[in-house]
Structure 1
Amino acid sequence: MPTAPTVVLVHGAFADASSFGPVVPALLDDGLSVVAPALPNRSLVADSAYIASIVRQIAGPVLLVGHSYGGAVITVAGAEENVVGLVYLAAYALDEGESLGELQGRFDDPALAAALVYKPFPQAGQADGTDVYVDVARFPDVMAGGVDPELARVLAVSQRPLTGVAFGEKASTAAWRDRPSWGLVATSDHAINPEVERFGYSRAGMNVTEVDSSHLVMLAEPKTVVELLRDAVRATSA
């Protein structure tokens, strides 16, 4: 019998693991093992190390799935030996030595750029850091088109922010170079320019799917996401 990988779902900025809510039950019903950790969103270096530590504690193969900023995280954490594949959902697929800001800077800014809010937070023994949020009033349009409006209202006020430092940190490796990878482009994405997604996926030689969806594609088009993950699971089952 083939051994299916454990599916590790890594959420992005301005969201949390509940953003995979419609996807998880379908994977569990398929008999798959699923882990959906809470990403700290403190820095690319620290977040990648955190996800790598979770991957190392899983016995057997792992399929890493990253949404948005989570794509940058799995690009680095995916270098762990038991990672057998990577799936990018409306995500940043960085190259080694590249930052989020550098990749995004090659293309026109999305609507998100004008909707960001910056707030300080204390750090013990050092200067305050900067947390980045999406303006609550803009969140449904920028992040959650096609998502149930009542849910979008909840998501807007329960954001997990991303620290500003994460935008400038460079990926220490690019795991997609030697692992099979899949990329989903959200063609109506207002948080990441879809051309950023296409460029990163094409550069990596990924299997690419496109869907007319907003940034939170797991909530707006969960069936498409589930089918893509099933394809990746089948392809990476040993």
Structure 2
Amino acid sequence: MSKIKPSIVLVHGSWADGTSWQHIIPLLIQAGYNVTAVQNPLISLPDDIATTKRAIDSQPGPVVAVGHSYGGAIITGAAVGSPQVKALVYIAGWALAPGDSISQLIGKYPSPPLVTAIVPDAGGFLYIEREKFHEVFTHDVSIAEAQVLAVTQKPAASITFEQSVESAAWQTIPSWYLLAQEDRAINPELQRFMASRIDAKVTELEASHVPYISRPREVANLIIEAASSAVE
């Protein structure tokens, strides 16, 4: 008897939306998976957790939750207590512990180049300066694609970097972590610390902060590995 494949819920990070998974989605669908890419508002961590939790709860069976960057913080909270979520996959993601905030963790390691490229708008939402976007965020992506990503970036409320989770799903759910060795947005050593802390199965890639865009086949393979393990 063939096993039911889990649904895969993809969670974007700051300065992006669900369409940023456009290189990953076809690969997962071709492999026979039901895929949902969440559209989070990026107005607060609790709001984004609630939005993602609704997406998880609406799936028909087991789920693999995948979070890129800030999306890692979201799945850490959204999957808590869910009997459906069988695996967590962090793509250069923030694997927060209870009480952690992104700002606190950034301060524990030398600041990445991204920090100097973030600017606020009149409402306190944060952007990456367009002229620095390719260099600090997507340096292994074509300039043309990076320009589209920079122009369409979704601003993030500054409060999202100060908020924490009360419980962490990785404490009870098996985790995978893709570490981006050339990341200029999250210090790779900080990624290594978080991956070790959650006892994740780690894969390292020579990639920028967006390996799911620059190295989609490798990222899709990691997600499929986690999904296959989830139903064993």
TM-score by length of 1: 0.94
1:145 touches 1:220 (CA, 8 Å); kept in 2?
no
| 1:157-203 residue CA offsets vs partner (Å, 9 max, x unmatched) | 11011100111111121100111100000010001111111111100
Q: Is residue 68 of structure 2 the alignment partner of residue 99 of structure 1?
A: no
The one-letter code sitting in structure 1 at the alignment partner of 2:152 is S
Paired position in structure 2 for 1:160: 154
Q: CA RMSD in A?
A: 0.9
Find the counterpart in structure 2 of residue 37 from structure 1: 38
Asked if residue 20 in structure 1 is aligned to residue 21 in structure 2, the reply is yes
Q: Which region of structure 1 is more displaced relative to structure 2, 63-72 or 149-158?
A: 149-158
Deviations along 1:80-105, whole A, 9 cap, x unmatched?
Answer: 22111100001110001111111111
Paired AA for residue 87 in structure 2 = G
Cα distance in structure 2, aligned partners of 1:120 and 1:50: 25
Aligned partners of 1:10, 1:113: CA distance in 2, in Å? Answer: 22
SS in 2 for 1:102: helix
Unaligned runs of 5+ in 1: 122-129
Structure 1 residue aligned with 2:136: 142
Q: Which amino acid aligns with 1:110?
A: P
TM-score (norm. length: structure 2): 0.97
- Contact conserved, 2:86 with 2:173, CA < 8 A, in 1? yes
Alpha-carbon distance between aligned partners in 1 of 2:113 and 2:127, rounded to the nearest angstrom: 14
What amino acid is aligned across from residue 108 of structure 2 in structure 1? R
Identity across matched positions, percent = 38
Partner of 2:84: 82
CA contact (8 A) 2:27 2:217 kept: no
> What CA distance in whole angstroms lies between the structure 2 residues aligned with 1:20 and 1:58?
19
TM-aligned CA deviation for residue 120 of structure 1:
2.5
